[in-house]
Structure 1
Amino acid sequence: MSVDSVDRRVSHRPGEASSPAAELVGNVWHLRTTEAVRQVLREKDAATQAGFSAELMPESVGERPILFMDGDEHRRQRTKVARFFAPKTVTNRYRRLMEERADALVADALAATTFRLDDLSLQYSTEVAAQVIGLTNSNAKGMARRLERLFAQPDWSPGSAPEGRLRSVWRSVRSHAPMAAFHLADVRPAIVARRKAPGEDVISHLLAEGYREPAILIECVTYGAAGMATTREFISMTVLHLLADADLRARYLAGEEEERFDILHEILRLEPIIGHLYRRAARDLDLTVDGETVAIRRGQLIDLYVRQANSDASTVGECPLDMRPGRPLPRGIGPEVMSFGDGHHKCPGNSLAIQETDILLTRLLRHELVVAKAPVMHWEDLTAGYALRDFVLTTPKPPLPVLAVSDERRGPG
């Protein structure tokens, strides 16, 4: 079986409804159109962060992570950290690092002839994100594995389990071995070093803002998930797409940066790493969904379906599940649609993620590669997205047969 037979639209989570556009189930609103999702994310002070266990973080941690903040406090902090992720900063400060690490890791992989792409992408994304965050005072390979163990968590999604259970999960996370290992081996040495000599990174900024160690730890976990775990998955998914479509791969490798980025954004639209965003209504909110008014009441949970919003034909046009880089989109809608979120909580690292992925792929995909083992897909509860594991590539001659992508679900849902 050739790699062309692999279904490129593999991120549809089994059992996940694509309609109706809006429905109330219990006390949870489920919204599945681009415009509905965008309205909630852009409406100022209408909803608070409810995903990633934000509502369950105890006050004893101290300062709230930026991801968990809302309102004026969030806007102030977001403005301050934006400089670390600005496109110009990414190019000027981190491009050379990305190129050097991509060259070295690809050379090592090709020398081995057979390698796991998910391992390579984890190492690469960890090293890049570590520079931005400031986690540079420990062994990068060890940190990658510590983060991998740390992100293997129980279901944290709102409404998926009784609140008591989730609160107990939060308490256990603060004290369990993977968190402690990451704290002691990676975060604390970085804090100590930056107290002596501040740098241009997130940890130095947090220390200057008066953040205490527990809060810095949680920020490092947050940025670690965003900059390491999600980019890792995107790299693997993009390689899967480009190896499955020889014409698209050739177009990607021959294209200028703008065209390559269009292709990466279109893959991300089809395969969002974060499948759901959660918000809690801070006030009554009336939305227009498919011409009808949806009355969300204060205190209700809102589940925003990113995959469905990204494939909304009224936004992205005809054949919404087809790969069409450079699709014409309405004004104000980015090419990845809702994959980086929107509004004041939009992912600040979008430029970094796309550029680092492009730098690695332009080096890796210029070589002959064969899928020796197609990845196993897991469904992650923390991100409501996918994880691709045991993705084995090789450079042998003649090519080896390719197995079909298997789907192994992790956790309920």
Structure 2
Amino acid sequence: MVTSESPGLLIPKAGVDLGRPDTYADGVPYEVFARLRREAPVSWVDEPPHDGFDGGPGFWAATRHADIVEVSRHPEVYSSHVGATFLRDQRPRDLAALQQMMLNLDPPDHSKLRKIVSRVFTPKMVNGMFSSIARDAHDIVAGLEPGSEIDLVAKVSAEMPLMVLADLLGVPRSDRHLLYSWTNRMVGLDDPAYGGRAAFLSAFQEMFAYAEEQAEMRRRDPGDDVWSLIVNAEVDGERLSLDELQRFFQLLMIAGNETTRNLLTGAVLTLDRHPDQWAELRANPDLLEGAIEEILRFHPPVMQFRRTAVADAELGGQRIAAGDKVVVFYVSGNRDESVFSDPDRFDIHRNPVNHLAFGSGTHFCLGNSLARLEARVLLTELFARFPRMRVAGPSLRFRSNFINGYRELPVELGPAAARTAPEE
């Protein structure tokens, strides 16, 4: 909990624990973040015990856009590797395993691994996926029954990235629901709906066994998929170890699924809550590309990432000691009044070029172009086919201090409009 007794804090008790998943049960507490940006943009947050969590040493919450960018662009000061990127401290054994993921590396090790897959996600390569993504979007929407009520997450938002991810990894599309289950159980550690720690651990075991099997197949018979590229790549003259490959598979699976799934769900929910702008978007579909950027700013799929200071520093007027945790809250930086005018207003005409939905600096999301393309193609298809769709009931948020997403979103599709086959 944020308290006046915490070291260096400039404001009185804020009344919430920013590390507790239940703090976000009803949505992001934007009013709390606004107060922190005004009065103590870098503030100390205690980590009291809760829900089987033994508590932690506390962390610095960076809530202002400029400070988030500062942390993100200086890995030599704010490390992703030393304590990994999860807010809670990990057990030594778990930390050692997590530190092998590209997400939890600093340069130069991070740079070496990033080079392996960076060429797959160039704008040219991503644009080359348009036809297959358009067919996927067409098939997903074609399978929806006009006038029915569906769970948007299960039927639409999850399906799009899973189909694309299966193709990227070169795995059978019939296996995509295995990927879905593993992802939910790994990021859903704090959500009882996904089975808690036992389900979390079993997901790793199942996924790693699958990754090993797929790696062996690609080394015997390489294809043109991303996984073949990774398992046969060399770093400093050597191929990646099995442990490194398993962690790479985990990263691709989660990053290629969660961000897009939550972007798609957040888009429908946000537009439903702003019917005047949704009506304008329906009348002028050319506005969709810009609207997606505003949706990313207004409803970023990921709320925060953690770094660990490896040297004494100063951030936002606060002294940061080597060893301190620093957590960058993208959801707050995306509402920073010094960067975005009237930041709590959703505006599809805004041009939020500086939003932080995909991070910043060294770990800026490699797949951002692919996520944007998937969202644009799928939403275009969905809105054209069902122009009168609407949210039909309460959404069910993901219980997390990390993912800004939903487990369920009931949507009434309404009658279908005439449709054409996707462009080749």
TM range (shorter): 0.7 to 0.9
How many residue pairs match? The answer is 359
2:346 alignment partner, one of 315, 323, 326: 323
Q: 2:60 touches 2:326 (CA, 8 Å); kept in 1?
A: yes
2:138 alignment partner, one of 81, 103, 108: 103
Residue in structure 1 matched with residue 44 of structure 2 by the alignment: 24
Instruction: Provide the C-alpha distance between the structure 1 equivalents of 2:276 and 2:76, rounded to a whole number of angstroms.
Output: 45
Residue in structure 1 matched with residue 159 of structure 2 by the alignment: 123
Residue in structure 2 matched with residue 265 of structure 1 by the alignment: 293
Q: Deviations over 1:286-310 (max 9, x none)?
A: 23x3xxx322121110011211111
* Uncovered stretches (5+) of structure 2, i.e. residues with no partner: 1-25, 47-57, 192-196, 417-424
Root-mean-square deviation over aligned CA pairs: 3.0
Residue in structure 1 matched with residue 126 of structure 2 by the alignment: 90
Instruction: Provide the C-alpha distance between the structure 1 equivalents of 2:182 and 2:375, rounded to a whole number of angstroms.
Output: 19
Instruction: Provide the C-alpha distance between the structure 2 equivalents of 1:150 and 1:135, rounded to a whole number of angstroms.
Output: 22
Instruction: Provide the C-alpha distance between the structure 2 equivalents of 1:54 and 1:365, rounded to a whole number of angstroms.
Output: 43
Q: 1:37 touches 1:309 (CA, 8 Å); kept in 2?
A: yes
Q: 1:66 touches 1:219 (CA, 8 Å); kept in 2?
A: yes
For 2:307, the aligned partner's letter is R
2:100 alignment partner, one of 32, 44, 64: 64
Alignment partner of 1:314: what SS? coil
Q: 1:316 touches 1:327 (CA, 8 Å); kept in 2?
A: no
Alignment partner of 2:228: what SS? helix
Off by >6 Å, runs of 4+ in structure 1: none
2:259 alignment partner, one of 186, 206, 230: 230
Residue in structure 2 matched with residue 51 of structure 1 by the alignment: 85
1:387 alignment partner, one of 394, 399, 406: 406
2:381 alignment partner, one of 356, 359, 363: 363
Instruction: Provide the C-alpha distance between the structure 1 equivalents of 2:122 and 2:217, rounded to a whole number of angstroms.
Output: 25
Instruction: Provide the C-alpha distance between the structure 2 equivalents of 1:113 and 1:173, rounded to a whole number of angstroms.
Output: 32
Residue in structure 1 matched with residue 328 of structure 2 by the alignment: 304
Normalising by structure 2, report the TM-score.
Answer: 0.76
Instruction: Provide the C-alpha distance between the structure 1 equivalents of 2:63 and 2:295, rounded to a whole number of angstroms.
Output: 19
Normalising by structure 1, report the TM-score.
Answer: 0.77
Give the CA deviation at 1:13. 3.9
- Cα separation, partners in 2 of 1:362 and 1:62, compared to 1, 3 Å: closer
Give the CA deviation at 1:340. 0.8
Give the CA deviation at 1:45. 1.2
Q: 1:191 touches 1:203 (CA, 8 Å); kept in 2?
A: yes
Instruction: Provide the C-alpha distance between the structure 2 equivalents of 1:125 and 1:54, rounded to a whole number of angstroms.
Output: 30
Q: 1:118 touches 1:236 (CA, 8 Å); kept in 2?
A: yes
**Does residue 212 in structure 1 map to residue 266 in structure 2?**
no
Q: 1:121 touches 1:236 (CA, 8 Å); kept in 2?
A: yes
**Does residue 345 in structure 1 map to residue 345 in structure 2?**
no
Q: 1:42 touches 1:344 (CA, 8 Å); kept in 2?
A: yes
**Does residue 197 in structure 1 map to residue 221 in structure 2?**
yes
**Does residue 180 in structure 1 map to residue 205 in structure 2?**
yes
- Cα separation, partners in 2 of 1:173 and 1:54, compared to 1, 3 Å: farther
Alignment partner of 1:81: what SS? helix
Q: Deviations over 1:208-238 (max 9, x none)?
A: 2322333322222222221112211111110
Residue in structure 2 matched with residue 283 of structure 1 by the alignment: 311
Give the CA deviation at 1:129. 2.0
Q: 2:102 touches 2:113 (CA, 8 Å); kept in 1?
A: yes
Q: Which moved more, 1:97-106 or 1:48-57?
A: 48-57
Residue in structure 1 matched with residue 270 of structure 2 by the alignment: 241
- Cα separation, partners in 2 of 1:356 and 1:112, compared to 1, 3 Å: same
Residue in structure 1 matched with residue 395 of structure 2 by the alignment: 375
Give the CA deviation at 1:87. 1.8
The structure, 1 or 2, with the larger RCO (C-alpha pairs under 8 Å, 6+ apart) is: 1
Instruction: Provide the C-alpha distance between the structure 2 equivalents of 1:360 and 1:187, rounded to a whole number of angstroms.
Output: 28
Alignment partner of 1:365: what SS? helix
For 1:75, the aligned partner's letter is S
* Uncovered stretches (5+) of structure 1, i.e. residues with no partner: 1-9, 157-168, 398-413
Residue in structure 1 matched with residue 420 of structure 2 by the alignment: none
Q: Deviations over 1:305-349 (max 9, x none)?
A: 2111111101112x11101235366xxxx34x1111100111111
- Cα separation, partners in 2 of 1:188 and 1:75, compared to 1, 3 Å: closer
* Percent of aligned positions that are identical: 22
Q: 1:264 touches 1:354 (CA, 8 Å); kept in 2?
A: yes
Give the CA deviation at 1:256. 6.3
